[in-house]
Every structure is written in C-alpha cells, then in structure tokens.
Structure 1
C-alpha cells in the first residue's frame, strides 16, 4: 500500500500529495490496481486537513491516476500504461472556493503563530485553552462589539454571540427561528450554505427576483401579500454570488415591508468590511427584528473559524447560545482570543486593508483579461459573476473548464428556484498568486469564445 508523503516543493499542499503519488507511480513504488489508504489515514499521516486530502484525490482522479470503487475505496488506475509515460496534465487551478487572497504584506504564515504565542504568553493565556460559555467569553464579546461598532451603531457586548464560523451561526439562527415547513425568503440566487441549512431543517426557500442592485422590494412585497415567510435572508454587501450591494433606499424598503408583515431579517454580512464606504446595515436600521452575522473568514482568513452574531436583544442572544451549546458547544477559544487580540492591536484592520488592496488588483486583472465578456463585480470583493453567451450552458461551461484545468461554480449551485441565469461564479482570491490567476482567466476567456462543446450537429 502507498506510503503517504508530500512533495514539499509543490505550491499547494494538496498538489504536493498528488505529485508525490504520481512520482511513486512513475518509479514503480506502487502499481496499477493497488489500493490506496483511506483519506483520513493519509490526513493523519501527513498532519493535514481531511479536506486537503479530498482535494488531492479529486485532482488525482482528474489526472487519471486514481479510480474510486463504490464501497471499496480508491485504487491506482489499472488503465495507466505500465511501461509508457504518464500523461502530464497541468494542475487544477481552483477558482471555486470564495476565500480571500493572502497578500504577501499580510504574512499570515508569520502572523498566525506569532499571534497565538502572544495570546498564550498573556495573563489570560491558559484560559484560552479551556472550555468557555457558549455565547463566548466576555472579553471576546467586548472586542467584537468594538470591531462591529466601526460599521454598526449601537452595538453592545450583551447582544453578541460568538460562533465557530458563519455557517454554524446561520444554522443556529435558522434553528431558533424556523420549523419544518416554514418558509424563508432569499434572492433567486444565494449562498449555498443557506440551501444546505434549508434542506437539513425541512424549510422551504422562497426565491425573490433580483436585479443589478440585489433583491427587488416589490418581489418581497408580492410574496408577503400571499403568505409572509418567517424570515428574509439577505447578503447586503457584495452579495454571494451576484456581487450586488443593496443601496440604502432599497434596504429601508425591505425593512418597512418586514416590519409590516412581521418577518425576521437574517443579515449575513461577510463582505462589508472590505468596502471603504459605509452603508447603514439592517442591524442598525431595524435592530429589534434583525439577526446580524459577521464572519472573519472573508476579511481575514477562514482559519480563525470565528463569527459574531448580533441578536435583537440580550435574551435572544442567550437563546441562540443554547442552540450553539447543543451543536458546536462553543467557538474555538484560542482562535476567539487571537481575533480579539488582532482587533485590539489593529492587526485585523491592517489585514483587511491588505486583502482589499489585493482584491482591487485582481479585479483589474480580471477586467483586462475578460475584456468584453459581461460580468458583475465589486472592485473590493474577491469574486465575480460572469454571464455566459447564449451558446453556453453554465453547467457545461463549468465542466469543460474543469477538464481544461480551472475549477469554477455554475449558477445552479446558487439557485433557489428551478430555472436560473446561465452564469458562473469565479473566485479570484483562492489563486495562490496573480500569475496563476492570469493563467486561469486567460484559459476561461478562450473557452468562452469557443462554440459550446456540448452542442451536437443536427442531421
């Protein structure tokens, strides 16, 4: 059986696994038909995340190195030429995950271990290794109130609950507000995490028409006049995937309708800290009916796994903490303490500014390469929403892009209704450097210009 190892020169860890496996196949250390260790075993042996190994297996299958057999595991492909050279394919450039870039000026490789060491060396250092209250330590909630207060007036620590990432926060809020069969309104394309929560909870998603400025208030009013949903889900700034930012007047119109029909608002706001101009949030306009979720994953790094929830009041916050206690117990205390330190010493704002600047450069690069192809984007965000020409279906385009070596996400992944526009989301932040991003975008631009490879001649 293959002995897991990493090619340390690879530009990303998952590629290091693939390249090491390919080298061992070429050297005859493993042969076609041999079974590979389970993914979890490989992750433990290499001290990497399971998701890293999963990405490696996906890439190995794409290169034809590995075959999966249902119920049995993964094996070295028996279709490999035993004596001939393996087909060399360029490594997959992943533009599917919507994570922020890691600019060199941020130097996260140094900042993370240094920050953790400083937390542990402090007077409360060892407390960051203990169990904590499910709503978060008071010192961390106060730091969160300071950070959120830069964009939302009137925030107090008593209303804040700390969660282990925005997804767990979203699930907890929906668990508190919704029951099976209830309806939640959202844009006709929306964050896939909400779709996953709705499926788990047996909640019905009600799609709302959108335009270049986001959810259309008239669409929300038409839905409410028929049967008001229990909640309205909005991504107010740099919407995922459409990139739209709701203007102030439209936000106020949605608030008025939500109040009139008794609808709670879930404001999922991971991106507004990337925008230099402040727009008044739903949490500030309607604090008594809004649940505000703000994660550090998009303005700093997903590695922190810290999100802040602003509840309508302190009592509702404690109820939410009860849901978190039954699901994730608490946010990671050490990462919460690190986030608080970075808020206090200004590191978080500096990191966000560096990401904002890198996003601006990458957006300009995308605009130059994609040329006349229509797409929506925010100059400070790290994704774009590209509308395909008539001869391409989004699912076909994403499939052929993947075969060519670039991973993107078709509109169907975001659709809350059956029919949707033929568009794809392209994430600019995950590419390890601008050169890799330029290569990927150039490939996509060339592919768009081709006739759809899914089309068939009529005879």
Structure 2
C-alpha cells in the first residue's frame, strides 16, 4: 500500500540520518502534491508514523521527527491518535471477524473442489461467484443476469477499468462538486476533465447536469446515489428518474457507484434499473462487510459490454482475488453477508446517535445507517486549518479539499465513525473536535 511505503521510506531516512531527529515535516498537503498521491494517503501515512512513534505533533507548531526513537517503547504510547479519517465500516462486537474469516477460508479449502480457489481464474470472475453476485444484488437491482456481471478486485479497480473502457484523455467526466477522491485519482491518471456539478441535500442537481450536458459535451456521469461520499446525500426516487431521463436525452453513460445501499433498510430504485442501457453499476463489499475482502461486482449494460470490460480487467488486475471471491460467495449462500451488513448498519446507527449527542447544534449532514458524516464548519474556521489542528490534538479527519472538484470548496470536513475501534475512542475523538470547533480559529497570524 502507498501509505506504508511512505512510512517505511521515512523510517529508513531517520535511521540512516538523512532526516534529523527534531526536524519539522512539511504540511501534509505539500507532501501529497510532491509525491503525486491523495491527501488521504499522506494522512494515513502520518497516522501510522505516529503510531510507530516516529513523529509527534506539537500544538501550534507542526509535526516533527521525534527526538528519541526508543525501540522498547510501545508504538504510539506518547501520542495516541484517534483516526476518524478512513471511511471503513465498524466491526460490530456480534460479528467475530477473527473467527469467521479463518473458518470460511478453511471451509472453502476443505471442500472437494476448494483448491481451485488458489488457481488463476477468468477475468470476469468464476461462474459460481457471478451467479452468487446476481442473487445477492437481486434484492435491490432487478433483472441482473450473470452474463452482465463481473467480479473485480474492489471498487477502485472497477472504477478505473470502466473509465478506461469508456473515456479517452481529454474527455469530460461529470461528478458532484464534492466527490470520492478515488475518482479524482482516476481522472488525473487518465487525463480526464472532471467537471463539477452543483449539489443540494439530495446530491447532484438535475438543472446543473442538463446545463453541463449542453455546454461541456460530457461522455459520462459519476454518481453515488445512496449515502454520497462525502456529503451523505441520498437521491430521492424522483431525483433519480430525472437524472436518468437527462442522461438518456443526451446519451450520457452513467457510472453508478453504490457501496452503501446494503446498509439502508429501504430499497430505492437504482440508475441501472432506470437506464439499464447506459449504466455501469458498481457494488463493493468494502463498505457493507470488510475492505479485506477486496471484492466488488460490476453490472454492465449488456453481456457484450461486460466482455469488453473483462478485456480491460485482464490487462490491469487480471482477476479478482479468487479466495476472497469464493469467501464472498460462501457468505452470500449461507446468509452471513446480509447478517454482517445488518450488524454494521445497526452499529452505524448507534455511532451516529453518539455523534449527534456530542456535536449538539453544530450543522452536519448524516445518514443514520452510514458510517460517516459531513461537518460544516463555523465561519471562523477553514477546513484545512481545522483538519490540521485536529491532527495536532490527536484526531485525524479529512478536509473538503480532498473531495473538491471545484476551485473553492465549501468549508467542511468528513468524519468517519466506523474506523474507531470502539465507541469510547469515537466519543473521545468527537469530544476533541467539538471542543476545537468552539475555539476561535488558531490559524490567525500576527500582523507586524
């Protein structure tokens, strides 16, 4: 992983003397720009470096290499960090991942044909896995045939593959003014023009979409219709119909990234149902089960397009991890996947209530079943400054600049509630943020 590479390079430089103990590190944003990586990658690297006892934050001054690196000191003992930056699901106490992962894998390998899960497989995914995916998706996406389905190694690889198939350098891709950083990374890698669309409490505004279709000649629209990342907005059924109708009117492909839908108890019609011939539907297990599975399912508009996407996957990731794909299939078959998603949704609801009680009258957007919230900051705080000072007091969050497609993003931060190991740690982190938000901005410079 990139963030571990950053940490290991830093540690090597410290041990070799290339970086002196006590040196101040550049701002995270500067490091991200210099390395050509996402800000969230650098944030995660800083978190890990602090956990290992390599660096420390000093309030009002910045982040420094620690003066003493004691190999016998417990990692992170001096400055424990509460990570509210990574948007991963919580691990509910009733879901014993330490047991169900090894038990599931042992069950697969112990079956008569289990060792086939250690072999190379078709880039579309093994047939049993595609049939299982179709069965699992049928609860919220009607009419999915296995020949339209592909099993991929996570949503990010699926997103890149779909963009590789549909878009060429210089093409215009529409997205909300605040959008998933992974999409920004794909657009930058492929040389796409990412065009922002105005958003409201339901997500992308239809009038803004139609205006961009007329003026920008886009090739595709990217949308997270349910519990948007980062804004938490969920499109109503009426809004979805309007967006689908406009896409059909202007012949625009839709990339529907739908990772959070399994967490909501009520079903809302998908873009893939409203505009089947235009829509690429991506459903990952990372948000409703565990990122460790590295499995996502892609529903193509038709079987022919599915085969074309399989060719891109063959050239990029070759195949999804067969053992994890088989584990997902096993959990679909025995009902475990649905039970895990329900438990995560219930834990999210508890954590959202906890957040609401601590943040009080502060303005924020959230979905009761989602594992993040979108905190709008008081006028005296800029998002970047707030995130930096939160980091210095030991809480890691993500500023709006990481998600912004437009030049002047709203002043807000995403707070992820699932990554905290328990509710106590989450309460501590949120209390720190509430206290910090009540203070005047600490970014004021003396005028001389």
What range is the shorter-chain TM-score in?
0.7 to 0.9
After superposition, the Cα gap between the structure-2 partners of 1:135 and 1:392, relative to the gap in structure 1 and judged at 3 Å, is: same
TM-score between the two structures when normalised by the length of structure 2: 0.86
Secondary structure at the counterpart of residue 175 of structure 2: strand
Of residues 420, 434, 452 in structure 1, which corresponds to 2:441? 452
Secondary structure at the counterpart of residue 150 of structure 2: strand
Q: 1:148 and 1:285 mapped to 2: Cα distance?
A: 16
Shift of 1:453: 0.3
- Is structure 2 residue 73 aligned with structure 1 residue 110? no
User: What is the RMSD of the two structures over their aligned residues, measured on CA atoms?
Assistant: 2.7
2:172/2:195 contact within 8 Å kept:
yes
1:300/1:352 contact within 8 Å kept:
yes
- Is structure 2 residue 145 aligned with structure 1 residue 156? yes
- Is structure 2 residue 327 aligned with structure 1 residue 338? yes
Q: 1:237 and 1:206 mapped to 2: Cα distance?
A: 21
- Is structure 2 residue 62 aligned with structure 1 residue 62? no
Of residues 327, 347, 360 in structure 1, which corresponds to 2:349? 360
Shift of 1:81: 10
Of residues 321, 346, 350 in structure 1, which corresponds to 2:339? 350
Secondary structure at the counterpart of residue 243 of structure 2: helix
Runs (4+) of structure 1 moved beyond 6 Å? 51-54, 85-88
2:177/2:199 contact within 8 Å kept:
yes
Partner of 1:248: 237
Secondary structure at the counterpart of residue 229 of structure 2: coil
Of residues 216, 224, 231 in structure 2, which corresponds to 1:235? 224
Q: 1:76 and 1:421 mapped to 2: Cα distance?
A: 32
Q: 2:368 and 2:180 mapped to 1: Cα distance?
A: 20
Partner of 2:81: 92
Q: Highest Rg: 1 or 2?
A: 1
- Is structure 2 residue 283 aligned with structure 1 residue 291? no
After superposition, the Cα gap between the structure-2 partners of 1:435 and 1:390, relative to the gap in structure 1 and judged at 3 Å, is: same
Unaligned stretches of 5+ residues in structure 2 = 21-42, 59-63
Q: 1:303 and 1:433 mapped to 2: Cα distance?
A: 19
Unaligned stretches of 5+ residues in structure 1 = 1-13, 22-29, 37-50, 66-74
After superposition, the Cα gap between the structure-2 partners of 1:234 and 1:31, relative to the gap in structure 1 and judged at 3 Å, is: closer
Of residues 346, 360, 368 in structure 2, which corresponds to 1:371? 360
Q: 2:69 and 2:209 mapped to 1: Cα distance?
A: 59
Shift of 1:455: 1.3
Secondary structure at the counterpart of residue 107 of structure 2: helix
The residue correspondences of 1:117-136 to structure 2 (distance < 5 A) are 117-136=106-125
1:234/1:268 contact within 8 Å kept:
yes
TM-score between the two structures when normalised by the length of structure 1: 0.84
The residue correspondences of 1:37-436 to structure 2 (distance < 5 A) are 55-59=47-51, 60-63=53-56, 77=66, 79-80=67-68, 89-436=78-425
1:32/1:76 contact within 8 Å kept:
no
Q: Deviations over 1:270-291 (max 9, x none)?
A: 0011000000000111111000
Q: 2:248 and 2:345 mapped to 1: Cα distance?
A: 34
After superposition, the Cα gap between the structure-2 partners of 1:261 and 1:35, relative to the gap in structure 1 and judged at 3 Å, is: closer
Q: Deviations over 1:251-295 (max 9, x none)?
A: 111111111111000000000110000000001111110000000
Secondary structure at the counterpart of residue 250 of structure 1: helix
Q: 2:168 and 2:352 mapped to 1: Cα distance?
A: 41
Shift of 1:376: 0.1
1:151/1:280 contact within 8 Å kept:
yes
Q: Deviations over 1:173-224 (max 9, x none)?
A: 0000000000000000000000000000000001000011110000001111
Secondary structure at the counterpart of residue 283 of structure 1: helix
1:31/1:76 contact within 8 Å kept:
no
Shift of 1:300: 0.1
Partner of 2:26: none
2:54/2:69 contact within 8 Å kept:
no
Secondary structure at the counterpart of residue 63 of structure 1: strand
Aligned length: 408
Q: Deviations over 1:388-408 (max 9, x none)?
A: 000000000000000000000
1:33/1:76 contact within 8 Å kept:
no
